[in-house]
């Protein structure tokens, strides 16, 4: 029992468990993925995902299969899915620690690497969020174990694990798994003696594992939609995303700008002498493996037009392994006092949010934002409803890091402090913004309209926002500004709903519901027909890609 209580992984899991239990599905991405899984369940078609009744080509089916498996076991709840994602993140930590141990046979290094990964802001933040990259990270680590098997000349198991990791990754998020997982194998002669001595056998085995993995994914794609479906996935979700992103387009250097924030607290807590960065790289095979698992893929991602922080999740194990090897230097130190100061400052700002919201109009900067509409009423309401207790707890956490004689220099204490801070931040969002994120009531209204046989349509693309929350049996109809008034004339007893506020419709809505940082608007069709008509928007393309 004592060993269980002293297990830092259990503490890590328990700290994030309240987030999984209480954070509602966050629009637009999480609600969309839940709706795809719901439509899979409602239609009984588990082979080909659909969204709003149309074939969903953005991602593979594996995450949706796993979501439905969780629902089958524990019921249709968001927390069931979040706990499943959290378990996948925990599995990644276990797989990663074992991978580090296999590379260097150093239990201290392996534990250090796992702690560094677990404490990284990006990893802790997404550990229970319903995103593809979390599960993709687990698939990448499975494939990396296969690569290490090739190094230890367990060729058959290596090929099988590479195939399993690549095939699963393709079914999760597509060909990006080939970049995430294969680069350490391509650079293997730098870190593997086996690859240097038996290069032909090494690359032949690697190629075979990848081919089998690709065959697994192609088998599903052929069964699901045939060759045209494969072409759609490859062109729309890979080639176009790399060359000309249709969402999240950012400059080449963007990842280098945000990476220091994503790997806190280690960016401000690790003290490694300059010579160690070179000497440890020469002496440690784990360091070389970690560097090639992180840096080449990061540079490649910089050339992709679309960039999001969570795209880097599968690369973090490589960075954590590299940093862990650097901390093996005799003169390397962990010093987390600056991180403690950052926690205190963040806590003060968080605790002051209600005051800032109440006095926004009288403050120079916030007053300007209020005046020009950049600081909405919904934002003020969310900030005003935030419990100062969350900020106070962050301040106490920072004070602990600063005041405790060993916490600022202890890797486990800093890791758990980082995770606790992330958990507090997400719980603060759930408490203050949760009502504006949860669209269950609106979705239930849509379901009631559909069940009563009354027409209801959404103005603009709605991303499946209401499908799972309302357990809709049929897709919510979509219209645009060019067809709005014709639809209202044809359905005078119907309703029009939208979460976009850009259309400038002069008729007063029958309902206005706070949603994220805006509002959900609901009109009666008869009111729209009777009121003044808005001019069609120049661009009515509201559809964006998912992450």
Q: What is the pLDDT of residue 2?
A: 47
Quote the CA–CA distance of 455 and 496 in Å, as a whole number: 9
Res 144: pLDDT: 98
Predicted pLDDT at 40: 96
Secondary structure string (H, E, C) spanning 172-215: HHCCHHHHHHHHHHHCHHHCCHHHHHCHHHHHHHHHHHHHHHHH
Q: What is the pLDDT of residue 405?
A: 87
How many other CB atoms are found less than 10 A from the CB of residue 467? Answer: 30
Question: What percent of the residues of the chain are helix, what percent strand, and what percent coil, each to the nearest 5?
Answer: 65, 5, 25
What is the model's pLDDT at position 238? 59
**What is the mean pLDDT, run by run of 10 residues, along the chain of 547 residues?**
66 96 93 96 93 88 96 96 97 97 94 97 96 96 98 96 97 92 94 95 97 94 78 61 59 93 95 90 92 96 89 97 94 94 96 81 57 58 84 96 92 96 96 91 95 94 92 92 93 93 88 86 93 68 53
> To the nearest 10°, the Cα dihedral for 523, 529, 535, 539?
50
Distance of alpha carbon 147 from alpha carbon 18, whole angstroms: 36
Element (H, E) at 496: strand 495-498
pLDDT at site 362 = 65
**Domain residue limits, the chain:** 2-334, 337-437, 440-530
Question: Could you tell me the two tokens for 331?
Answer: 């003169």
Rounded Cα–Cα distance for residues 143 and 163 (Å): 7
Rounded Cα distance between 158 and 390, Å, is 47
pTM: 0.92
Distance, in Å, from the CA atom of 118 to the CA atom of 83, rounded to the nearest integer, reads: 16
Helix (H, G, I), strand (E, B) or coil at 504: coil
Q: Supply the Cα-derived Rg of the chain in whole angstroms.
A: 25
Q: Which DSSP symbol is given to 472?
A: -
What is the helix (H) or strand (E) element at residue 513, kind and residue range? strand 511-515
Please state, in angstroms and rounded to a whole number, the distance separating the CA atoms of residues 499 and 290. 44
Peptide bond just before 28 cis, omega within 30 deg = yes
């Amino acid at each position: 029992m004592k060993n269980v209580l002293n297990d830092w992984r259990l503490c890590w899991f328990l700290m994030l468990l309240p987030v999984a239990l209480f954070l509602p599905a966050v629009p637009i991405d999480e609600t969309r993925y839940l709706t795809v899984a719901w439509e899979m369940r409602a239609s009984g078609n588990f082979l080909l995902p659909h969204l709003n009744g149309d074939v969903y080509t953005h991602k593979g089916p594996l995450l949706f299969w796993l979501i439905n498996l969780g629902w089958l076991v524990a019921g249709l709840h968001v927390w069931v899915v979040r706990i499943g994602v959290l378990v996948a993140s925990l599995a990644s930590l276990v797989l990663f620690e074992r991978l580090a141990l296999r590379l260097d046979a150093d239990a201290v290094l392996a534990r250090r690497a796992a702690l560094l990964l677990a404490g990284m802001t990006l990893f802790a933040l997404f550990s229970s969020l319903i995103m593809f990259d979390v599960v993709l990270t687990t698939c990448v680590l499975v494939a990396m174990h296969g690569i290490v098997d090739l190094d230890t000349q367990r060729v058959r198991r290596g090929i099988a694990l590479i195939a399993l990791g690549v095939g699963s990754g393709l079914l999760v998020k597509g060909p990006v798994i080939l970049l995430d997982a294969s680069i350490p194998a391509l650079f293997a002669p730098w870190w593997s003696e086996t690859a240097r001595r038996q290069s032909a056998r090494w690359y032949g085995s690697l190629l075979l594992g990848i081919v089998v993995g690709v065959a697994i994914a192609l088998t599903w794609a052929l069964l699901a939609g045939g060759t045209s479906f494969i072409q759609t996935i490859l062109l729309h979700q890979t080639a176009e995303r790399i060359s000309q992103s249709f969402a999240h387009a950012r400059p080449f250097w963007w990842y280098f700008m945000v990476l220091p924030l994503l790997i806190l607290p280690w960016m401000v807590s690790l003290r490694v002498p300059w010579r160690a960065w070179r000497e440890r790289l020469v002496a440690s095979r784990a360091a070389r493996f970690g560097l090639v698992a992180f840096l080449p893929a990061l540079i490649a991602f910089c050339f992709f037009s679309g960039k999001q922080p969570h795209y880097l999740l599968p690369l973090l194990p490589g960075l954590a392994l590299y940093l862990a090897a650097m901390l093996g230097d005799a003169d390397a130190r962990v010093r987390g006092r600056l991180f403690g100061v950052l926690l205190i400052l963040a806590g003060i700002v968080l605790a002051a949010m209600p005051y800032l919201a109440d006095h926004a109009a009288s403050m120079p900067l916030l007053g300007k934002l209020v005046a020009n509409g950049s600081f909405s009423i919904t934002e003020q309401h969310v900030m005003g409803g935030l419990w100062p207790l969350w900020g106070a707890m962050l301040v106490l956490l920072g004070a602990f890091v600063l005041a405790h004689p060993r916490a600022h220099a202890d890797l486990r204490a800093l890791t758990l402090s980082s995770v606790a801070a992330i958990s507090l931040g997400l719980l603060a969002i759930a408490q203050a913004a949760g009502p504006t994120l949860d669209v269950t009531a609106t979705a239930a209204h849509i379901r009631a309209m559909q069940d009563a046989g009354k027409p209801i349509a959404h103005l603009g693309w709605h991303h499946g926002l209401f499908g799972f929350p309302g357990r809709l049996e049929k897709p919510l109809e979509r219209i645009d500004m060019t067809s709005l008034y014709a639809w209202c004339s044809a359905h005078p007893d119907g309703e029009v709903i939208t979460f976009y506020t850009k259309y400038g419709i002069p008729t007063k809505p029958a309902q206005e519901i706070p949603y994220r940082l805006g509002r959900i608007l609901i009109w009666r069709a008869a009111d729209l027909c009777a009121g003044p008509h808005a001019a069609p928007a120049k661009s009515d393309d509201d559809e964006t890609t998912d992450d």
